[in-house]
Structure 1
Amino acid sequence: MEVVSFRIPKELKRSMKEVDINWSEEIRKFIEAKVREYKRRKALEEIDAMLSNLPKAEKGTAKNYVREDRDSN
């Protein structure tokens, strides 16, 4: 594992010592969640960009395809 350090106010550090929490684990979970959230957001942005480059279908196209498929059976 790697070591990451950061600064916090003294009062916060004192308050952290007063509670029985594994801060390393909590911070690790928080960072992992933020990274997952960021990756999901980036993937959605890429998908949106790809979809915006696709040609637009005329209104009612999906309905017509469904009707055509139903009528063919």
Structure 2
Amino acid sequence: MFSVKIKREVKEKMERYRDRVNWAEEVRRFIEETIRRLEAEENFEDVLRRLEGARWQVPGGYSAALVREDRDSG
């Protein structure tokens, strides 16, 4: 649990809309979405690092063979 300091004017506005907005739920949702986004960014960066370190090649002539095969099938 934690607390957040907000300006008085913001608190007054929140009070005005408290019957329409569950502020605690909004804060929880924001935190959860932010965590999901950050984890996704970290996972993406990890995948990129792994791909950069990968040592694999396409056999010579492979692309040309695929293009030729595609032309011949049409």
Q: TM-score range by the shorter chain?
A: 0.7 to 0.9
Q: Considering Cα pairs closer than 8 Å and 6+ residues apart, tell me whether 1 or 2 has the greater RCO.
A: 2
- Which residue is equivalent to 1:16? 14
Q: Aligned pair in 2 of structure 1 residues 62, 4: CA closer, same or farther (>3 Å)? A: farther
CA separation in 1, counterparts of 2:2 and 2:10?
18
CA separation in 1, counterparts of 2:45 and 2:36?
14
Amino acid paired to 1:38 = L
User: 5+ unaligned residues in a row in structure 2: which ranges?
Assistant: none
Amino acid paired to 1:15 = K
Q: So what's the TM-score if we normalise by structure 2?
A: 0.72
Aligned residues: 67
| % identical equivalent positions | 26
User: 5+ unaligned residues in a row in structure 1: which ranges?
Assistant: none
Q: Does the alignment pair 1:50 with 2:39?
A: no
Q: Aligned pair in 2 of structure 1 residues 54, 16: CA closer, same or farther (>3 Å)? A: same
- Which residue is equivalent to 2:5? 7
Deviates more, 1:3-12 or 1:31-40: 3-12
Q: Aligned pair in 2 of structure 1 residues 43, 23: CA closer, same or farther (>3 Å)? A: same
Amino acid paired to 1:24 = A
Deviation at 1:61, TM superposition (A): 6.3
